[in-house]
Structure 1
Amino acid sequence: MRDRAVPEVLVFDHTGTPEAGTQVPAGGVKSGEGLEEAVLREVAEETGLLRATVVRQIAVEDKPHPDTGQPRRTSFFFLQAPADTSGAWDRHVHRDGDDAGLTFACRFLPLPLKQPLADDQDTWLGYIDPRWTTVTGDSQ
């Protein structure tokens, strides 16, 4: 998220793969890596944003993976990006792994969103107070 006239959330689309839908940065946790370390790494890898900071974890969700149907646990984090972060940019991934060679079209969208995100990734956005000081609701 970044703090502007209204709260904005960072999203991206996979360039050339519109069926993937609009998403927030996400990914897995490497062996020996903490959750906060993993979320910052994934944001940096997928968006190039290096100045985000973790505010807090807002939810943990258990549901089947949308492609494989296998059990999946997802932890959602509230991160803050500096207000002066660019509003839109493209990120070409040069590293090894699943995202190598992909280009992500990154942008901030004002809340509330006009369209849902892929895989219901926007479910927990309503649990973040617009003033970014509290999380409301039961997050477990």
Structure 2
Amino acid sequence: MTRVRVAVYVTRGSDLLVFTQRDDAEAGVQVPAGGVRAGERLDAAAVREVLEETGLSVSAVTPLGVQTDVEGQVTVFAHATTATPLDRWAHTVTGGDSDRGLSFECSFAPAASVSLAGGQGEFLSLLR
């Protein structure tokens, strides 16, 4: 069975929400992403993943594109917005998967200058 994931570009103006893992610098700069649960809508999965990985609430989830890797894993990329006044914060991942308990350093960076790990930047140009 094909695993479906969501990855979410959360913007505040022209800035993009990104994070790094406190204990794994080699993981690189990332955006919220994770698996879609059985029966879960893609927009609901996007909202949940952002909340679990960053603690932020988002709105206006819009699909942008679909990426399939060499192993057949499908990732749906989406865009969402936030009005949070936070610029930088630490967050411990919640939720029931293997990321639970990881510590992330979250921040906003200019979307035009962000370099994301693991192919997560494929649809960034659609934000411009």
If the TM-score is normalised by the length of the shorter chain, which range does it land in? 0.7 to 0.9
Q: Write the distance in 1 (CA, Å) between the matches of 2:93 and 2:35.
A: 16
1:81 correspondence with 2:82: yes
1:119 corresponds to? 118
Question: What amino acid does structure 1 have at the position aligned with 2:28?
Answer: G
- Using a 3 Å threshold, how does the CA distance of structure 1 residues 46 and 33 change in structure 2: closer, same or farther? same
Please list every run of 5 or more consecutive structure 2 residues that lacks an aligned counterpart in the other structure: 1-10
Please list every run of 5 or more consecutive structure 1 residues that lacks an aligned counterpart in the other structure: 65-69, 130-140
How far does residue 126 in structure 1 lie from its aligned partner after superposition?
0.8
From 38, 45, 48, give the equivalent of 1:41: 48
Show CA shifts across 1:22-49 (max 9, x none): 1000001001100000010000000000
Higher strand share: 2
TM-score scaled by length of structure 2: 0.85
2:12 corresponds to? 2
Runs of 4+ with deviation above 6 angstroms: none
- Using a 3 Å threshold, how does the CA distance of structure 1 residues 55 and 30 change in structure 2: closer, same or farther? closer
1:91 corresponds to? 91
TM-score scaled by length of structure 1: 0.79
Contact 1:8/1:110 (<8 A) preserved: yes
Contact 2:46/2:61 (<8 A) preserved: no
How far does residue 85 in structure 1 lie from its aligned partner after superposition?
2.8
Question: What amino acid does structure 2 have at the position aligned with 1:77?
Answer: A
| Number of residue equivalences | 118
Contact 1:54/1:77 (<8 A) preserved: no
Percent identical: 36
Give me the CA root mean square deviation. Answer: 1.4
